Structure 1
């Protein structure tokens, strides 16, 4: 490393600052050397850029405007810590700099403690005692010093220190105790002369500072009503991309057609967190908080009154045994005043909503989550809601009946046209039963785009690091700290919307085109006869969720015993027909090639069995292999005798190969013997054309048959996996299941190898027989390991929304095969519905992102106009306060307009990107004119 080469230089220069540098002793003060009396320069400032030494008088004079700098004095041996107070510096408040008060009022005991962002200072401070003097707290605030108390303050913190700690608490979740300890140690690392303990004062000042910032940023100083006129939830930062009536929605949004109305849906998510506990310390009476219900938490008094009177419904889960349902009242909460937090938030953009957070008393009870849900929507005019909850399948059942227990002012208006979709977040969905996985899926629900519903989980990740300090706080202090963190996260999300939405729309446009192309190809290959009834069924379900769900499989998967029976019957049938050992005596060209393909298959089987023999095989196992190898060699020799009658050139090649063979193991040589079928001879070797034509037809059929067996075996294996995971218990049953799965996998591997051999042969014969590439390679593509997957499985790391179906399910002939196999036909139907849903969701995502970008710009324009209005004050305040409020409002309006300009610049390429986007439409031409291509919304599910 380069640093190690100059390590000594760095160390020496750091050490040089410990002494006097080039001097052996302090000299005369260069600042006052022209005076009659010269003074010895022994003092320097640790924080000024100037590192020279000064005398006592000059250092005090230079720091009248910087009274909180730390200094050190040379004592003859080293620099010892000192302070400006000991040198005679006094801080004068209430007068311009340089003007001394005629009636100064020293602080208590002539010592005042000031907490700075770097250390703690004890200073000599004088308040102004003139007749026109302001209150001591005003004198401190005028000098950017925040008093620790409003009555006879003895200590204060600089605005810079509070702002510095505020940012550390937001970004690093630093506690006040840790910040204070850092300041105390910086002031005196030896702790021999520690500063006065002002930890409690720092806690108080920081709470007040947070509250004042909240009011200031909420525009309460620009309102004649002041803080007392704050409305519930008014101080919470709204999501600019969410729909807000009368703010960022079109004038006619309420009458939008069905094909566009879903764009104005409100997406909210519900979740609970059991890490943000609070111990049973203090109480709401002792620590009520400075602003209750003004921001993200619900108003505590009304909330507690509701919890005392509400009735908790007794409802066992009809889905899986979700702990949030069955164990809602069983969680351990001994010694806790709050067992966690419940939240309602925007799931499209991860914003916390106002009046949506509340403490959990005894777990995640329906009554608590109901109150928080309706509180977050109070005054809402949205007619369409998408609600995400990990137990939505249970919570939604009697929601509208339970609404009657909610306070009247929180209940939603009875709008008959209101439409609601209850869905389960994507990550949580696999924990539900199969019926819920299709009925409550974001992937299959129209009008939700690519929303995943997991936003609350990401929000907890930001708040959880503060759990260590909040669990020890009183209720008011805890709520204020958490609200401060939530507001900061909402603001960071706001300024990051430009990059976030741009990244999302770039991904959405590209992926939408990919999914549409994939679905179009799949649909066209299936054909109108197959797809027509499926489309009718899925559109009927989307219009009315009580109709049969087309995403649910209608065919019961084969059981383990049925699969084992089928495999054994297949082997018995092959043995009974003699196909494994049969060799034809009357050889025709067709029989010759057919037999050659059979022998090739037997060679592969023998090679696999030899490789699986192992190092410690028994004599019986070795005997079986040798007997099979000898029998196969006899068959190969007999076949070669017939081959030389039809293709002498192949016999010559085989004879030359035998003369050069020096194999030490005759058994291992049998599977590797080259049969020299027509596909192996090459274009320059003489071979009858009819033999090549026969092999072409047989190889093509062999490849198609191998694909059919792969598809069927994959579906059977998927059914066995599902049965094993859901029903098999115990070592014996699991072992049997794994045995069946292993046999199925061996069969799939054999079929894959057979297909690859057949395709290589076709590729070799095609140019010789003048077969065009398009005539066969389209339906018989190259088979990769990743292509061998079930119809409902994607590639590695592909989620359901991004999943692409393997080409083996999209080639021609699959539909015809499906007509003969009920399992494959049902799987194709479900997969077609999923493929259509993926194309539609990505198409919706593009439209939704475009609309959200428009809403963001409209919201910021509205916000800027709101601050412009706040800059016009009618009076009621002093002139100096009015000027400050106007300046602040104009600065906030400027920030909003700056964000608007930045977002427009960031999104400058979006119009061109959208010109490349083609939304989803009905691809099939046979009934395109008769199909409604709009995306209907789902009705309320009760």
Structure 2
């Protein structure tokens, strides 16, 4: 409790405090301005100004962390006075304009919102109005609306922070000399020429140079839309291609030159992002999403690796964004992973962009309402924060590697040991001559991809039949889906069914062309069937006749090897289907007992019935699969002179499909033959060539897995070296910037030097020697690699 005079004296240093006054009945809010406090800029608090300039400051508004304040403010008009916006900056108040400012925001509130937007993704609109309610939540007091000014200050603050962290204030060339992507937060673990790679790394032999490859992943996000709001003229970007978004002018020019080009369609699978790009709704949208390029191993956005999309995931957009990022990085060895490029990359999963989307998608609701410049600048800022948090997550104190890299190394060493052991066990059962032959085939294919691929089956007959059986299953599932279609299906359900039809039709077209190479007779059979029916069967893929060997008319010539493959596969399929029938019967019996004992009420009974019906449906599918397989065995058995299999593969009647305990419960009948112990005829063995093919494929895969993890260990060791080298380079870079620019003002020069010194000490200086149980990275950069038997303890 203070008197009026003491209150004024106490608040010389705290002009934005909120106070209350006793009105003889209760405490009510009152402003310091109403009490007579005037804020004098340009002088120490309480110091007299001989030429105050109050006219522009009687209605000054300051946005602070505890609300929106109206104050009486006097600018200094002395001869030695700074320009007005500088007087505000020295007060740690950021002006909304440099010309006659009447609104400012405290550095504290701007810093607070900056961090809060990163962590909670709160919008500036929500934050500002929470400050307004904090000022007065009664709704009865008019509060000055400074939202537009606050948005402008926030954008400028973010931009200045990026420029400062990029060292642009220390460069004599100034801000306008900033290069493309220069303000982006770089990944210290990725190879960076001139920063963390050996001087002659490009001259090293290929068996060591592969460790310097850059792994990148491409993806698009259609949540980050932007409505047709404002324009680049009214709302220009402050970054202008300096961070992650590509420069708008050259990007738009490139797209305009290729506006008439048609999108190349995907022919392997149904990629909606590509094939439906022309049909995606863009009504009312200036951008339907963004495309990004990330480093695939460390989940960080690359400089100039982000761009707006206008019509789905067009290749022309992604091509430009990719080339822009690669031009900045200047790497000659690049490994690209793209979810619509049908490519898989070793132990790199390629899903880095997807993990980042979960973080950035939360700002989509606010950024879609922004103008083009604000949209790009805001996302640039959030991407920088994402990259920065990735760097700090490398380990405790950034350099001890107790988190990310340590976890990856422990996992890589563990699985290298496991897969090497598994490979050794497999090789004990294979003749050394075969291993040597297969190894030579793998190395030959790795040197020249035009050589036979050792990872593919060489018995195309077998692959043809397997694919045909898989297509039969898809046809059955599609018929089931179409049978359950109702008049009231949702749009999503209809779209799913249509996608299923399109995907099956595409696979059937490809399979049919290949089948005609091995079974020329089917071409004539399809032609005859089409003439007899008078309509094209291609319109109904679920009814398309595959003409597998068992489906050919009697007397039709057929390749005996092909028929043999079909018989063996159907025999195995019949055994598998019968096992599934037994499994579903056991589960169904258990669920009935559980329902009778534990489930009560209509809701519980309905749910239980739905689950039991699902099991019944799967059981019925397995029964049909067994009957189909047995029908094929019977059809081909006579041609191939197969015998003995009928003793174990009986016809499966509906009365046979019953639980084992059904006889005891009813007190009559016998146990179904499906539960009796039976063994397959040993004379029905698989073809020796198929066995050889399977063993070779398994060896190739086991060898590849062992090599993947072994290479992962080497790659992680190189990344550890690269990150330490990058940190040393960054520390030296900031030390060089301490004296790069010369100013006339001694305090300003000292400020530049202090900032550079602070940045150098923040993360990059005094890089310690990394010593771990078996892993040693020396100050010279040399690596003492661990042995596989001793996983590193960092």
Output the TM-score relative to the length of structure 2. 0.70
Q: Indicate yes or no: 2:314 matched with 1:365.
A: yes
Q: Indicate yes or no: 2:137 matched with 1:184.
A: no
Distance 1:568 1:550, change over 3 A: closer
SS of equivalent residue, structure 2 residue 273: helix
Distance 1:110 1:325, change over 3 A: closer
For 1:304-703, list aligned pairs within 5 A. 304-310=252-258, 312=261, 315-378=264-327, 380-393=329-342, 424=343, 441-443=344-346, 450-498=347-395, 499-555=403-459, 556-557=462-463
Q: Indicate yes or no: 2:196 matched with 1:248.
A: yes
- Deviation of residue 379 (structure 1)? 5.2
| Counterpart for residue 435 of structure 1 | none
For 1:233-312, list aligned pairs within 5 A. 233-310=181-258, 312=261
Question: 1:243·1:855 contact (CA, 8 Å) conserved in 2?
Answer: yes
1:892 maps to which of 754, 759, 771: 759
Cα distance per residue 1:372-406 (max 9 Å; x no partner): 1111111554221100111224xxxxxxxxxxxxx
Distance in 2 (alpha carbons) for counterparts of 1:497 and 1:323: 36
- Deviation of residue 203 (structure 1)? 0.4
Distance 1:569 1:137, change over 3 A: closer
Distance in 2 (alpha carbons) for counterparts of 1:472 and 1:893: 38
The CA RMSD over aligned residues, in Å, is: 3.4
| Counterpart for residue 826 of structure 1 | 693
Structure 2 alignment gaps of length 5 or more: 396-402, 470-549, 551-562, 575-581, 591-617, 633-644, 650-683, 778-783
- Deviation of residue 553 (structure 1)? 2.3
Question: 2:337·2:345 contact (CA, 8 Å) conserved in 1?
Answer: no
| Counterpart for residue 788 of structure 2 | 917
- Deviation of residue 313 (structure 1)? 5.0
Distance 1:908 1:535, change over 3 A: closer
| Counterpart for residue 171 of structure 1 | 119
- Deviation of residue 567 (structure 1)? 10
Question: 1:843·1:919 contact (CA, 8 Å) conserved in 2?
Answer: no
SS of equivalent residue, structure 1 residue 120: strand
SS of equivalent residue, structure 1 residue 354: strand
Q: Which piece of structure 1 moves more, 870-879 or 132-141? A: 870-879
For 1:929-940, list aligned pairs within 5 A. none
Distance 1:453 1:286, change over 3 A: same
- Deviation of residue 234 (structure 1)? 0.8
- Deviation of residue 300 (structure 1)? 0.5
Question: 1:347·1:454 contact (CA, 8 Å) conserved in 2?
Answer: yes
| Counterpart for residue 10 of structure 1 | none
Question: 2:57·2:73 contact (CA, 8 Å) conserved in 1?
Answer: no
Which structure's CA Rg is the greater one?
Answer: 1
Cα distance per residue 1:130-177 (max 9 Å; x no partner): 222221111100110001121111111000000000111111111011
Distance in 1 (alpha carbons) for counterparts of 2:431 and 2:132: 78
- Deviation of residue 314 (structure 1)? 5.0
| Counterpart for residue 717 of structure 2 | 850
SS of equivalent residue, structure 1 residue 232: coil
- Deviation of residue 329 (structure 1)? 2.2
- Deviation of residue 67 (structure 1)? 1.4
Cα distance per residue 1:305-353 (max 9 Å; x no partner): 1111126355332311222332222211111111111111211111111
- Deviation of residue 856 (structure 1)? 0.5
SS of equivalent residue, structure 1 residue 343: strand
| Counterpart for residue 660 of structure 2 | none
Distance 1:320 1:897, change over 3 A: closer
Structure 1 alignment gaps of length 5 or more: 1-52, 394-423, 425-440, 444-449, 573-606, 616-729, 752-816, 921-942
Distance in 1 (alpha carbons) for counterparts of 2:571 and 2:217: 53
Distance 1:733 1:552, change over 3 A: farther
Cα distance per residue 1:627-662 (max 9 Å; x no partner): xxxxxxxxxxxxxxxxxxxxxxxxxxxxxxxxxxxx
Question: 1:818·1:828 contact (CA, 8 Å) conserved in 2?
Answer: no
Distance in 1 (alpha carbons) for counterparts of 2:48 and 2:205: 74
Distance in 1 (alpha carbons) for counterparts of 2:273 and 2:89: 50
Distance in 2 (alpha carbons) for counterparts of 1:569 and 1:864: 68
Cα distance per residue 1:171-212 (max 9 Å; x no partner): 111101100111011111112114211111110110111111
- Deviation of residue 569 (structure 1)? 9.0
Distance in 2 (alpha carbons) for counterparts of 1:60 and 1:743: 100
2:99 maps to which of 151, 168, 174: 151
Question: 2:94·2:104 contact (CA, 8 Å) conserved in 1?
Answer: yes
Distance in 1 (alpha carbons) for counterparts of 2:771 and 2:17: 43
Distance in 1 (alpha carbons) for counterparts of 2:380 and 2:26: 49
Cα distance per residue 1:868-898 (max 9 Å; x no partner): 0100135245332221111100110111335
Q: Indicate yes or no: 2:760 matched with 1:872.
A: no
Output the TM-score relative to the length of structure 1. 0.59
Question: 1:495·1:899 contact (CA, 8 Å) conserved in 2?
Answer: no
Distance in 2 (alpha carbons) for counterparts of 1:260 and 1:865: 28
Cα distance per residue 1:543-586 (max 9 Å; x no partner): 1112222222233155656799669999x9xxxxxxxxxxxxxx
- Deviation of residue 914 (structure 1)? 4.4
Distance 1:861 1:158, change over 3 A: same
Question: 2:294·2:302 contact (CA, 8 Å) conserved in 1?
Answer: yes
Distance in 2 (alpha carbons) for counterparts of 1:612 and 1:340: 46
- Deviation of residue 495 (structure 1)? 1.4
Q: How many residues align?
A: 597
